[in-house]
Structure 1
Amino acid sequence: MKKTIIFLSLVAFTAVSFSQKKRTTTSATINFDATTTLDALPKAENKTAVASLNTKSGEIAFEAIVKSFSFSNPKMQEHFNGAMWMDSDKFAKATFKGKITNLSKVNFKTDGTYRATVEGNLTMHGVTKPVTTTASVVVSGKTITTTSDFSVKVADYGINGPAIGAGKVSTDPKISVVAAFK
């Protein structure tokens, strides 16, 4: 009897230890909006970003292949991936690694919408810079959906193509990230 209780306790402890601490997805969406009053076309979407979320530690990470951003205008996509902009042959990925800093305000076990503060490092075009933003965390059943909107200054990442100088591309494009973790 004593061995059975110890065995059942061990099984329960193992189940709790391995229960859904880390969630991942391979279909996070990142939207890029660099429109200006001179040009409404610099918009792109990447639906193949990968992401992970550790519900115990609050660690969160995203990775996107730069060439997977899709523009409505093929010429704009060519410029975006070219040496004067993202130089995606040399800098193939953009990454974010960070943490939810107010993790105690997010209850991953109870359905609801929570406001999270996220701090971390964004790396693109070979440059890493700190980013702080807010995110919405929606818990619904077994799905956790995170959404965040923020802007970056392209000059901070060494991006300075002629279209930026001409005012056709925003100097601080808006980035939107959505990931559903199941």
Structure 2
Amino acid sequence: MKTIFYILLCVNLTVIAQTKYITKTGTLNFEASVPSFEEVAAKNNSVTAILNTDNGEFAALAFVKAFRFKNALMEEHFNENYAESDTFPKATFRGKIEGFDLQSDNTSYPISGELTFHGKTKTYQNLKLYITKKGEAIILKGNFKVLVSDFAIEIPKIVRNKLSEEVDVTFNFELLEK
């Protein structure tokens, strides 16, 4: 009985000791525009992200229907025809910041992890992540490129020349201690 109590106590202390920073108002943008055609870009201002500062683990969750376009019809087509957001309502990223140290003067770190979108998961290695401290907040910023084909998104032939196969993704998270 004492052994079980001791194990439970150690597990609880380990969980309590972890320092986590979180936001529910992170921003995630993407652009798949092609020169000379209408801008294909969207922004999501309600992304949830969490960072464990003890081990550099990071996760983010975005609801696909929360992406906003300048053109309402484009937003509708994105949700119904490309992202199929009723079937695949969430996009997630789970990864680890390599060599993360909150006490360090480093502002750039590699992060590796898995991005899941449209029911498909793709592993990314050594994406560049910029980290700054602003008062009590930790700010994470970065950008990377994804291929539409990696997530089994079909672009109809009629609009194929108006959308880029390569999508620029940028993010900005201001996290506060939980």
TM-score between the two structures when normalised by the length of structure 2: 0.84
Aligned length: 164
Deviation at 1:19, TM superposition (A): 6.4
Percent identical among aligned pairs is 34
Residue 60 of structure 2 is aligned to residue 62 of structure 1: yes
Distance between the aligned counterparts of 1:130 and 1:97, measured in 2? 10
Partner of 1:11: none
Partner of 1:181: 175
Give the aligned residue type for 1:108: L
Partner of 1:89: 86
Equivalent position SS for 2:161: coil
Inter-CA distance 149–62: structure 2 relative to 1 (3 Å threshold): same
Distance between the aligned counterparts of 2:32 and 2:106, measured in 1? 29
Distance between the aligned counterparts of 2:121 and 2:70, measured in 1? 28
CA contact (8 A) 1:38 1:167 kept: no
Deviation at 1:101, TM superposition (A): 1.4
Distance between the aligned counterparts of 1:163 and 1:174, measured in 2? 21
Q: Which runs of 5+ in 1 are unaligned?
A: 1-14
TM-score between the two structures when normalised by the length of structure 1: 0.83
Q: Which runs of 5+ in 2 are unaligned?
A: 1-12
132-141 or 92-101, which moves further after superposition? Answer: 132-141
Distance between the aligned counterparts of 1:19 and 1:73, measured in 2? 46
Off by >4 Å, runs of 4+ in structure 1: 17-20
Distance between the aligned counterparts of 2:110 and 2:116, measured in 1? 19
Deviation at 1:102, TM superposition (A): 2.3
Deviation at 1:27, TM superposition (A): 0.3
- 1:28-177 equivalences in 2 (<5 Å): 28-82=26-80, 84-103=81-100, 107-109=101-103, 114-132=107-125, 133-162=127-156, 166-177=160-171
Partner of 1:7: none
34-43 or 138-147, which moves further after superposition? Answer: 34-43
Distance between the aligned counterparts of 1:113 and 1:70, measured in 2? 34
Query: What do you get for the CA RMSD once the two structures are aligned?
Result: 2.2
Residues 135-178 of structure 1: CA deviation (Å, up to 9, x unaligned): 10001221100001001001010012216862111101100011
134-143 or 161-170, which moves further after superposition? Answer: 161-170
Inter-CA distance 67–102: structure 2 relative to 1 (3 Å threshold): same
21-30 or 36-45, which moves further after superposition? Answer: 36-45
Residues 29-67 of structure 1: CA deviation (Å, up to 9, x unaligned): 000111111424211000001000000110001100000
Give the aligned residue type for 2:19: K
CA contact (8 A) 2:18 2:54 kept: no
